[in-house]
Chains A and B, each alone.
Chain A
């Protein structure tokens, strides 16, 4: 089955530093990758959508200069949280989608718990 590997699973960083989170589709080519953020007891909030080789599309209210998304290949997308602050502490999850038809599923990574101190 489709597997998406997300690293790191947990990271603690100092305020003001940047953190990069990787999302890889291991056995399929992901035409689209999505990045979500989840606060405790809240739903997964879509941050941005990226297609390989093109700029990411950010959701309203998400700072594109703060959350840099790169989708350089069909199997790798990265999210970089720049100049992280404590309020950026959250659970970040990526999702990869195969193909273009509605029936193709979305496979999620295992998530990254970011703590900014």
Chain B
């Protein structure tokens, strides 16, 4: 039972355009969401997060939108750059996940390719 779903295994965009990566979740107890970027043979690096009390969080070229009623979040990257090419993982946690440990549940990832 996949609680965090990234239904698009890959996405290709042109440099300078907007990249939109989507993520859906099924567990209504999730209240904190994160996006990670991962290169091959490396660990994920944190990009941006959002708490369920917000519907938008912005950091430079990265913006995360959260639609709690639809249990959907998206990551917007604008403008996209070739260096953004990587696998992007969506992750979620709950306040009650492992007590104070806040375990993360990951999606399968979306491979973003930004073409020059």
Partner-B contacts on A (CB < 8 A)? 4, 6, 9, 32, 34, 36, 41-46, 49, 51, 57, 91, 93-95, 97, 100, 102, 105-111, 113
Q: Which of B46, B51, B106 contacts A105 (CB 8 A)?
A: B46
With A and B bound together, what is the CA distance between A95 and B45 in angstroms?
A: 10
Q: How many residues of B contact A (CB 8 A)?
A: 27
With A and B bound together, what is the CA distance between A109 and B42 in angstroms?
A: 8
Measured CB to CB, the closest approach of chain B to A53, in angstroms, equals 14
Contact B43 A49 (CB under 8 A): no
Contact A43 B41 (CB under 8 A): no
Q: What mask results when residues 26 to 57 of chain B are scored 1 for a CB within 8 Å of chain A, else 0?
A: 00000010101000011111100101000000
- A residues within 8 A CB of B101? 32, 49, 51, 57, 97
Interface of chain A: mostly helix, strand, loop or mixed: strand
Given A57-B98, A102-B51, A43 and B106 contact (CB-CB distance below 8 Å): yes
Q: Which of A9, A44, A107, A110 contacts B89 (CB 8 A)?
A: A44
Contact A111 B43 (CB under 8 A): yes
